[in-house]
Chains A and B, each alone.
Chain A
Amino acid sequence: MTDILKTIFESVLVGNKKGVSDGVQQAVDAGVDAGEILNKGLIAAMSEVGRRFEEGEYFVPEMLIAARAMSAGMEIIKPLLVKAGVETIGKVAIGTVKGDLHDIGKNLVGMMMEGAGFEVIDLGVDVTPDRFVEAARSGVNIIAMSALLTTTIPSMEATIKAIEVSNLRDSVRILVGGAPVTQAYAEKIGADGYAADASAAARKALEIVGRS
């Protein structure tokens, strides 16, 4: 890894937003390929952040500031990636299900997915089945649902049913998670995947689109 990519990588790890945007700008100015900045700088760093979180070395604040720093870098290279025709790995629409306003876990999952190279559309919280259906219709590859309340988990099943009824089930893969959700529940409602934490969710999403 070149020094400048190393700087970007390390700045993401410590959540140094300015360090990342300065580093990315410097790399762009020096003619480093945007795809390389993305893969070897930003994505590699977020994958390390995920590892540290899973191993209990990083906590929620470290994840959030790292993701914020990564986003600052993404802002700079996004137009270049589009111009160069670099395709994202896939599009994910993520939201917390109807009746549920918990968003910290959902945000972390979205950030880790972005950090893994996905284009992430954040539908926010309290997302009705209809809005997920709309997102599925818009051509996303993955619908990602988060729920934190016992009383809102059933909305996941309702959303899957609504997607089925709309004849969109074959065009999207569905990923579910959140504190009360389990692998068994995911299977029961016919989701394509479950993940226990944000970095496992990003890995699962990669697996789903055949990029793991």
Chain B
Amino acid sequence: MKLPTSDYDKPNVRRLLAALHHQESDRVPHIELWVTSQAVYEYVLERKLDYTIGDAAEGGQSIAPEDDVEFATRQGEDAVLCNFNWRPNNVFRLASDGTRHYVDGEIKGRQDLGKLDPPPNLDDQLNYLERYLHAAQGTGVGVIANFTSFFDSTMLAIGVNDSFMMFYDDLPFLEEMMDILLENQVNTMRAVCDRFGDDIALVMVNDDIGYNSGLFIKPDLFMQLFPERMKRLIAPAKKHGLLTLMHTDGKMDNIMPILYDVGFNAAHPIEPESNDIVEVKKAWAGRMALIGNVHTPLLAYGSREEIEAQVRDYCMKLGPGGGWVLGSSTSIMDGVKPENFVTMVEAVHKYGRYGSLEGI
């Protein structure tokens, strides 16, 4: 892709922060939380990577920090993610297409706690963040510290199907697992905020709590398990005055008020399958910023014209007043055509222009 020449094409983390503060800057910002397609990375970087990118969902980092920042710089993406994942005891399998994916968890009950995978070493994680911050210095690219959480990580550690039944079979164990995960992630969050709170752009938590019909579990049970724990997780970030963003899949009408009450400032990706993002923006303008939600089928199968038209329409309807950041719903995975990804990015540079960055 073309290298950025105008300011509109360059990354600027202040543009992202302005939008999250419900302000207009020079243009609508753009971020992608997960790119799991090597082809897209290599297309934008215009070179082959000499390693295979890992899938962030597996707990590792998907691409080297320096390459990630270069990827963002080239396409004017305003921030990148540094992951602080602890997803223990996930079992993976190769699908028939050769890709490796989660299929089950190993922790089937209290008796299995002895074999719980240890969390990643904190110093190693902090050093990795430092590498990200170093690479991003002077580029305009912000670094978002992204944390796995306690709800879906518990379900994945147990096995998603089994964990659903465990809400009835052994709720105390489920809560114990959540607390083990939470405790570690709170400590990690605290360490990140203490050491790098002034350097990172914001904090993100990713935890899938819903699907196309809404919450996975009954709201009264969910309220018993989720809000207080989540408040603990993001407390260090709030204390440091950092903005907080939550990723969850699903229909947001019942989820958004919960996230707002917990103290989140923004939500991703407002999946188009189950949400009308224009309506969600109207309902939450000034209170919750939105990141999303260009549909991945469009990016996989749509034409250049269709993608441009979608981004243009979103810029017109969602851009005014800030509070919206363009992104895909949800990840740039294999199957998304690299040219289409670039079309989406170029379209927001073209149609997302407001005024200027002064005063932010």
Chain A residues in contact with chain B, CB under 8 A?
A: 15, 56, 59-62, 64-65, 68, 98-101, 103-104, 107, 125-126, 128, 150-151, 179-180, 197
Contact = CB atoms under 8 A, between A and B. Distances in A.
B95 A68 contact: no
Given A15-B168, A61-B167, A61-B168, A151 B300 contact: yes
B215 A150 contact: no
A28 to B, nearest CB: 26
A126 B215 CA distance: 26
B334 A151 contact: yes
B160 interface: yes
Contacts of B173: none
Contacts of B165: 61, 64-65, 68
A98 B216 CA distance: 25
Given A59-B216, A61-B165, A128-B96, 11 more contacts: A59-B215, A60-B216, A61-B217, A98-B97, A99-B96, A100-B95, A101-B95, A104-B164, A150-B301, A151-B300, A179-B273
A104 B160 contact: yes
Contacts of B95: 99-101, 126
A150 B297 contact: yes
Most buried by B among A98, A101, A104: A101
B356 interface: no
B101 interface: yes
A107 B160 CA distance: 12
Interface in B199-215: 211-215
A180 B96 contact: no
A151 B335 contact: yes
Contact of A59 (B97, B218, B335): B218
A61 B333 contact: no
Contacts of B297: 150, 180
Interface in B58-113: 93, 95-97, 99, 101-103
B188 interface: no
B296 interface: yes
Contacts of A61: 164-165, 167-168, 216-218
A68 B102 CA distance: 23
Contact of A107 (B93, B96, B161, B296): B161
A197 B213 CA distance: 10
Given A126-B96, A150-B296, A150-B300, A64 B213 contact: no
A112 B168 CA distance: 20
26 contacts: A15-B168, A56-B213, A56-B214, A59-B215, A59-B217, A59-B218, A61-B217, A68-B165, A98-B96, A98-B97, A99-B97, A100-B95, A101-B93, A101-B102, A103-B161, A104-B160, A107-B161, A125-B103, A126-B96, A150-B300, A151-B334, A151-B335, A179-B212, A179-B273, A180-B273, A180-B297
Nearest to A107: B161
Contacts of B102: 101
A60 B212 CA distance: 12
B159 to A, nearest CB: 11
Nearest to A179: B212
A210 B336 CA distance: 41
Interface in B304-360: 333-335
Contacts of B300: 150-151
A128 B95 CA distance: 11
B335 A150 contact: yes
Contacts of B217: 59-61
B165 to A, nearest CB: 5
A65 B297 CA distance: 34
Contacts of A125: 103
Most buried by B among A125, A150, A179, A180: A150
Interface string B161-196: 100110111000000000000000000000000000
A65 B333 contact: no
Contacts of B160: 104
Contacts of B211: 179
Contacts of B96: 98-99, 126, 128
Interface string B272-290: 0100000000000000000
A98 B168 CA distance: 32
B215 A104 contact: no
Contacts of A103: 161
A200 to B, nearest CB: 12
A65 B165 CA distance: 6
Nearest to A16: B168
A64 B164 contact: yes
Contacts of A99: 95-97, 99
Given A150-B335, A179-B211, A180-B297, A60 B164 contact: yes
A101 B101 contact: yes
Most buried by B among A59, A98, A107: A59
Contact of B161 (A62, A104, A128, A180): A104
Contacts of A62: 218
Contacts of A56: 213-214
Contacts of A100: 95
Interface in B37-69: none
